[in-house]
Amino acid sequence: MDRVSSFDEPLKKLLGGATAKVMAEHLDLHTVGDLLHHYPRRYEERGKLTALADLPLDEHVTVVAQVADARILTFNNGRGKRLEVTLTDGSGRLQLVFFGHGVHKPHKELLPGRQAMFAGKVSVFNRKMQLAHPTYQLLDASDADEATEAVDAFAGRLLPIYPACKQLDSWRIAKAVDAVLPSARDAVDPLPASLREGRGFTPLPEALLKVHRPQTKADIEDAKARLKWDEAFVLQVALARRRYADTQLPAAARRPVADGLLDAFDAKLPFTLTEGQEKVSKEIFDDLATEHPMHRLLQGEVGSGKTMVALRAMLTVVDAGGQAAMLAPTEVLAQQHHRSITEMMGELAEGGMLGGSDRGTKVVLLTGSMGTAARRQALLDLVTGEAGIVIGTHALIEDKVQFHDLGLVVVDEQHRFGVEQRDALRSKGKQPPHLLVMTATPIPRTVAMTVFGDLETSVLDQLPAGRSPIASHVVPAKDKPHFLARAWERVREEVENGHQAYVVCPRIGDDAEEAEGKKGKAKKKTAEEDPEKRPPLAVLEIADELRRGALAGLTVEVLHGRMHPDEKDDVMRRFAAGDVDVLVATTVIEVGVNVPNATAMVIMDADRFGVSQLHQLRGRVGRGSAPGLCLLVSEAHEASPARARLSAVAATLDGFELSRIDLEQRREGDVLGQAQSGVRSSLRMLTVIDDEEVIAAAREEAVAIVAADPELEHLPELRTVLAALLDKEREEYLDKG
């Protein structure tokens, strides 16, 4: 069998149809290679018992423990039977329960003193932790054949505990791994020999054997070091090749022009740019001046002035005879950008119009909800080149939209756009336009090197002068209701001092959102029985309550995604003008909304939002000279992880620190864009948060290798492994960056 195909062998050939089907459906494992890369989550030492005291509720667990007691109880006047088994491990006790016909076999086997591995989902019954109908395997079976097998498999060894599912326990996965382990010898080694030897890595076949069947703890460490490196390295080579390919594309160089639009704009700025803005602008201008497309990620704290940096880049491109397009994720944000850019530019945004500057250009807005006449005019201005700058939503991507000469694409809040949208807009240039991707969600360096690894990174971490500090506090509404009452008093005080406030809720709460009547009733019932399960608080309900109660007499308006765009725009305009005291909104205000007079924000059910999202929302206040206040209202229990998250947000305004906490709590899945791409991440062993040094070193090696041999002609094994990683879906997953 050749070296690649044994890894591509379908599992059903080796394991039988039923097991292979469960593996495919529930664990996304289809081939021998998939199963060999399904690494143990942890290892149990024979005789060392898992702490029963630390079992997580509602999780599928595997424990090694001893039977302390087993008894059959009857119920229903003797018609029903239940077997209750108590396990112990010195740290705690755990109850097992078996019903009906399922009691006979365990009753014979689970005798006091016996030791076994048990797997099941932890639940609570009568205030005691229990596993109902767990599967188990005796580790000291009395049956001679079974005993020999169990002892051979487990005695004196580290037992691998695999990520499992309800339909397939860890030890059944272990048996399946035994069946495919001989194929590990055929592993194609992606590391060039010089790199492997230089860094003293274990050969790949040996690493696979050691990770699945370690004899010692040192085996596990050896294997992990090697397998982590492979994942980081192959991913970084893919990204380095992507960056290299980009440098081979042609692009029009867009160099600044003396006494042009940019100089006129800079001359009328009422403030000086921060050092950070100057530095990042220079990086961008240097990129724009080259004859291959810029691919740059601009990440900046909320309010660090990214829009200003992006606008100056757009003006440079217009000066050089091109057009610039800014893609925003929502209509509210597109309108907001359009408004703030035209205000900043003044008469420079009225090129060709009466009273406009002779050095000016036209700045147009293009969204899905525009009227036909306005839309037709905007499209005409783009195709003739009359409009140098266009700001819009994904309406910009439609086929009808054509440019005279698209030179720069600015994508705001990149994580909201798929690769298809980004590429569709880029394909509208005569040749590939330059690309600037912006995000206000600070990204830890390791994530920038993996998820956004095909982009060069610029960071704005300085706030412009005159920005005010924001005080943040957690309001425990359940334990201390008077704290919530005080929160509304604080909002009233801010309004009396001439300021405005936001109240943010997780849900809209109109009928369209609720399911039909029956489901609504069911919801209410659960909420009464279990407050944890109540639906999240809603904009429309909270706004009504506030108008009638705590904020009676103030102008309270609502803003959410299901309103008509004109209505949304009208509310935002009136709020920006100071005619609305309190805006009760969903997260539509999360990015880009800029109302310097808004000083207070109350976030209801704050524990229902992610860390980065809370940080984004909070960035909407304290944008002027008055200090900001952010109150995080929560009913979560004081000792819960949700409350710990909120306390972390309240404790620091450093977005990079928070993004690290966020990553630690959510782990990689979300951050690496699985949610957006629907593709399982190719990282199984590498944890983006803990392995910064591995990723950085792998990136360095990858860059050197690709620079010397872009097509990897001298590294056929690496090419083979890359081809497997970059099948169609993974290609898209990387592109999502």
In SS3 terms, 309-342 reads as: HHHHHHHHHHHCCCEEEEECCCHHHHHHHHHHHH
Query: Residue 373 — very low, low, confident or very high, per pLDDT cuts 50/70/90?
Result: very high
Q: How far apart are CA 14 and CA 35, in angstroms?
A: 12
- In angstroms, how far is CA 414 from the centroid of its own chain? 12
Kindly tell me if the per-residue pLDDT of 650 is higher than 70.
yes
Q: Which of 245, 319, 248, 312 is nearest to 285 (CA)?
A: 312
* Beta strand pairing call for 93-99 and 135-138: unpaired
**Would you state the pLDDT for residue 4?**
44
Average pLDDT, integer, range 82-111:
86
3-state helix/strand/coil string of 231-269: HHHHHHHHHHHHHHHHHCCCCCCCCCCCCCHHHHHHHCC
The most distant pair of C-alpha atoms in the chain lies apart, rounded to whole Å, by 98
Kindly tell me if the per-residue pLDDT of 731 is higher than 90.
no
Q: How far apart are CA 186 and CA 205, in angstroms?
A: 7
Beta carbons of 732 and 726 less than 8 angstroms apart: no
**Would you state the pLDDT for residue 209?**
94
Strand partners, 392: 327, 366
Q: Which has more confidence, 607 or 637? A: 607
**Would you state the pLDDT for residue 596?**
86
Q: What is the pLDDT of residues 577-630, one digit of tens each?
A: 999 999 999 988 766 677 889 999 999 999 988 887 888 888 888 888 888 999
DSSP state of 507: B
How much of the chain, in percent, has pLDDT values that exceed 90?
Answer: 32
DSSP state of 101: G
Contacts of 2 (CB under 8 A, 6+ apart): 186
Average pLDDT, integer, range 308-318:
94
Among 15-24, 125-134, 588-597, which is the least confidently predicted range?
588-597
Query: Residue 200 — very low, low, confident or very high, per pLDDT cuts 50/70/90?
Result: very high
Among 112-116, 399-403, 451-455, 632-636, which is the least confidently predicted range?
451-455
- In angstroms, how far is CA 309 from the centroid of its own chain? 26
Q: Please tell me whether residue 23 adopts helix, strand or coil conformation.
A: helix
**Would you state the pLDDT for residue 418?**
57
**Would you state the pLDDT for residue 419?**
59
Average pLDDT, integer, range 195-201:
92
**Would you state the pLDDT for residue 666?**
58
**Would you state the pLDDT for residue 122?**
82
Among 155-169, 424-438, 707-721, which is the least confidently predicted range?
155-169
**Would you state the pLDDT for residue 677?**
34
Kindly tell me if the per-residue pLDDT of 414 is higher than 80.
no
Phi-psi region of 62 (alpha: psi -120 to 50; beta: other; left: phi over 0): beta
**Would you state the pLDDT for residue 356?**
56
Average pLDDT, integer, range 617-646:
87
Kindly tell me if the per-residue pLDDT of 47 is higher than 50.
no
Kindly tell me if the per-residue pLDDT of 23 is higher than 70.
yes
Average pLDDT, integer, range 230-245:
88
Mean pLDDT of all residues belonging to the chain: 81
Kindly tell me if the per-residue pLDDT of 223 is higher than 60.
yes
Kindly tell me if the per-residue pLDDT of 657 is higher than 80.
no
Q: Work out the burial of residue 258: count CB atoms within 10 Å of its CB; fewer than 13 is exposed, 13-18 middle, 19 or more buried.
A: exposed
Q: What is the pLDDT of residues 684-709, one digit of tens each?
A: 777 766 788 888 899 999 999 999 99
Q: What is the pLDDT of residues 491-536, one digit of tens each?
A: 999 999 999 999 999 888 865 544 333 344 444 443 333 445 678 8
Among 30-39, 193-202, 529-538, which is the least confidently predicted range?
529-538
Among 28-42, 228-242, 298-312, which is the least confidently predicted range?
298-312
Give whole-number Cα distances, 255 to 288, 296, 318, 549, in Å: 7, 17, 10, 59
Beta carbons of 702 and 725 less than 8 angstroms apart: no
Q: How far apart are CA 214 and CA 193, in angstroms?
A: 24
**Would you state the pLDDT for residue 495?**
95
Beta carbons of 505 and 537 less than 8 angstroms apart: yes
**Would you state the pLDDT for residue 528?**
37
3-state helix/strand/coil string of 539-592: HHHHHHHHHHCCCCCCCEEEECCCCCHHHHHHHHHHHHCCCCCEEEECHHHCCC
Q: How far apart are CA 517 and CA 522, in angstroms?
A: 9
Kindly tell me if the per-residue pLDDT of 303 is higher than 80.
no
Beta carbons of 674 and 451 less than 8 angstroms apart: no
Beta carbons of 38 and 162 less than 8 angstroms apart: yes
Most confident of 78-87, 207-216, 330-339, 527-536: 207-216
Beta carbons of 55 and 129 less than 8 angstroms apart: yes
Residue linked to tokens 């509720």: 57
Average pLDDT, integer, range 112-130:
82
Average pLDDT, integer, range 138-151:
58
Query: Residue 376 — very low, low, confident or very high, per pLDDT cuts 50/70/90?
Result: very high
- In angstroms, how far is CA 9 from the centroid of its own chain? 33
- In angstroms, how far is CA 131 from the centroid of its own chain? 33
Q: Please tell me whether residue 22 adopts helix, strand or coil conformation.
A: helix
Beta carbons of 92 and 65 less than 8 angstroms apart: no
Kindly tell me if the per-residue pLDDT of 262 is higher than 70.
yes
Kindly tell me if the per-residue pLDDT of 679 is higher than 70.
no
**Would you state the pLDDT for residue 314?**
96
Give whole-number Cα distances, 137 to 58, 214, 286, 505, 599, in Å: 22, 21, 65, 49, 61
Q: How far apart are CA 453 and CA 653, in angstroms?
A: 26
